[in-house]
């Protein structure tokens, strides 16, 4: 029965990483320069999940955080310091509405796993009460 707590715990950790990634995307939605000095604007990041806890047991884990390869948004702003020769500024491929929906989904999944942990603890307590 303690394995059930491990499954929910791994899911909580994975959803926390997902929420942190989404928060980073939202914070950089208008960042026109990359922190690593690479060409172009900030690139949206996505957390990838895999089954298992990474140690051969049941659960879920984040296998990596990768950049979304979709094209940046272009906006005509000739006075902007990051504008190209044609007057276009490349903004990150981050859509705030999509990120908000993803954040709500991750929060709900987090809440569901907290509820599952609470139910598991309740079942364990009831089992111990019956045995004792």
Residue 114 pLDDT level (bands cut at 50, 70, 90): very high
SS3 assignment, position 29: coil
In the DSSP assignment, the letter for residue 65 is E
pLDDT for 13 = 93
**Residue 55 placed within a domain:** yes
The pair phi, psi for residue 27, each rounded to 5°, is -65, -25
Percent of the residues in the chain that have a pLDDT greater than 90, as a whole number = 68
Let me know if residue 79 belongs to a domain: no
The number of beta carbons lying within 10 Å of the beta carbon of residue 70 is 11
Q: Which helix (H) or strand (E) holds 89?
A: strand 88-91
83 found inside a domain:
no
Read off the pLDDT of residues 50-98 as tens digits, 9 standing for 90 and up.
Answer: 998 767 778 899 999 999 999 999 999 999 999 999 999 999 999 999 9
Number of structural domains found in the chain: 1
**Cβ atoms of residues 63 and 50 within 8 Å:** yes
- 123 inside domain: yes
Domain that holds residue 66: 2-29+40-70+95-131
Is 84 within the bounds of a domain? no
Would residue 75 count as lying in a domain?
A: no
pLDDT at site 2: 67
Closest CA to 7 of 47, 48, 55: 55
Q: Are the CB atoms for 32 and 43 separated by under 8 Å? A: no
Name the pTM for this structure: 0.85
Residue 119: inside a domain: yes
Residues 6+ away with beta carbon under 8 Å from 48: 62, 63, 64, 65, 66
Smallest Cα–Cα separation from 27: which of 40, 17, 42, 39? 42
The reply to whether 116 falls in a domain is: yes
């Amino acid at each position: 029965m303690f394995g059930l707590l491990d499954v929910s715990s791994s899911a909580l950790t994975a959803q926390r990483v997902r929420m942190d990634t989404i928060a980073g995307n939202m914070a950089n939605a208008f960042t026109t320069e990359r922190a690593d000095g690479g060409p172009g604007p900030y690139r949206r990041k996505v957390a990838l999940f895999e089954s298992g806890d990474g140690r051969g047991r049941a659960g879920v884990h984040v296998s990596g955080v990768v950049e979304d390869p979709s094209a940046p948004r272009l906006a005509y702003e000739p006075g902007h310091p990051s504008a190209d020769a044609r007057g276009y500024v490349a903004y990150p491929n981050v859509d705030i509405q999509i990120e908000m929906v993803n954040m709500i989904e991750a929060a709900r999944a987090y809440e569901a796993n907290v509820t599952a942990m609470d139910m598991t603890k309740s079942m364990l307590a009831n089992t111990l009460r019956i045995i004792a």
